[in-house]
Structure 1
Amino acid sequence: MGFLQLDNGILRVAINPFGAELSSLRHRGGGELLWQGGEPWHRRAPILFPLVGRMPGDRLVHNGVAHPIGQHGFARDLPFELGQNTETSAEFTLADSAETRRQFPFAFRLAVRFSVEGETLSIRHTVDNPGSETFSASIGGHPAFAWPLVEGLAPESHVLEFAQDEPAPIRRLADGLLLPDAVETPVRGSTLALDESLFAADAIIFDGLRSRSVRYSAPGAPALTVRFDDFPLLGLWSKAPGAFLCIEPWYGMTAPRDFAGEYAQKPGQFVLLPGESRSFTYSVTVQNS
Structure 2
Amino acid sequence: MDLHRLHLHGAEAVIARHGAELQALRLGDTDLLWDAGPLWPRHAPLLFPVVGGLKGDLLRHRGQALPMPRHGFARDRAFTWAERTPAGCALELRDDEDTREAYPFAFHLVVRYALAASGLRMELELHNPAPTPLPASLGLHPAFRWPLTPELSKAAHRLVFRAEEPGPLHRLDGRGLLTPEGHATPILGRDLALHEDLFREDALIFLQPRCRSLRYEVPGGPSLVLAWEGFPHLGLWAKPDPGPSFLCIEPWAGHADPTDWEGDFSEKPGVFLVAPGATRSWSFSVALGGEA
Superposition TM-score tier, normalisation by shorter sequence: over 0.9
1:45-194 equivalences under 5 Å are 45-174=44-173, 175-194=175-194
Contact 1:106 1:133 in 2 (8 A): no
For 1:19, the equivalent position in structure 2 comes to: 19
Structure 1 CA distance for aligned equivalents of residues 64 and 39 of structure 2: 35
- Using the TM superposition, give the Cα deviation of residue 107 of structure 1 relative to its aligned residue in structure 2, in angstroms: 0.4
Contact 1:6 1:12 in 2 (8 A): yes
**Residue deviations 1:209-230 (CA, integer Å, cap 9, x gap):** 1111010010122111110121
TM-score normalized by the length of structure 1: 0.97
- Using the TM superposition, give the Cα deviation of residue 260 of structure 1 relative to its aligned residue in structure 2, in angstroms: 1.2
1:213 aligned onto 2:219: no
Contact 1:230 1:282 in 2 (8 A): no
Amino acid in the other structure paired with 1:187: I
- Using the TM superposition, give the Cα deviation of residue 152 of structure 1 relative to its aligned residue in structure 2, in angstroms: 2.1
| 3-state secondary structure, aligned to 1:37 | coil
- Using the TM superposition, give the Cα deviation of residue 208 of structure 1 relative to its aligned residue in structure 2, in angstroms: 2.0
1:256 aligned onto 2:258: yes
Structure 2 CA distance for aligned equivalents of residues 90 and 227 of structure 1: 20
**Residue deviations 1:109-141 (CA, integer Å, cap 9, x gap):** 110000012312111110011122212111010
Structure 2 CA distance for aligned equivalents of residues 229 and 91 of structure 1: 19
| Segments ≥4 residues shifted beyond 4 Å | none
Structure 1 CA distance for aligned equivalents of residues 262 and 9 of structure 2: 51
- Using the TM superposition, give the Cα deviation of residue 247 of structure 1 relative to its aligned residue in structure 2, in angstroms: 0.3
- Using the TM superposition, give the Cα deviation of residue 281 of structure 1 relative to its aligned residue in structure 2, in angstroms: 0.6
Aligned length: 287
**Residue deviations 1:195-251 (CA, integer Å, cap 9, x gap):** 000000000011121111010010122111110121111100000336000000101
Amino acid in the other structure paired with 2:15: I
Amino acid in the other structure paired with 2:177: L
Q: What percent identity do the matched residue pairs reach?
A: 43
| 3-state secondary structure, aligned to 2:139 | strand
CA RMSD in angstroms, aligned pairs only: 1.2
For 1:269, the equivalent position in structure 2 comes to: 271
**Residue deviations 1:130-174 (CA, integer Å, cap 9, x gap):** 122212111010000000001021111000000000112110001
**Residue deviations 1:22-46 (CA, integer Å, cap 9, x gap):** 0001013x13110011222101000
